[in-house]
């Protein structure tokens, strides 16, 4: 049961990281473009 719960937590973390990266990376690109512009 411990291994299963650990795997589930890892999967949730991966999904959260992917969502966060998708939200953070575009904002950084926009900031870089705004700074250059």
pLDDT, one tens digit per residue, over 2-11 is: 777 777 777 8
- Cα separation, 37 vs 25, in Å, equals 18
pTM of the model: 0.43
Distances (CA, A) of 28 to 8, 9, 24, 37: 30, 28, 6, 14
Q: Provide the pLDDT for residue 37.
A: 60
């Amino acid at each position: 049961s411990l291994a299963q719960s650990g795997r589930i937590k890892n999967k949730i973390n991966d999904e959260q990281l992917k969502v966060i990266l998708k939200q953070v990376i575009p904002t950084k690109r926009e900031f870089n473009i705004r700074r250059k512009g």
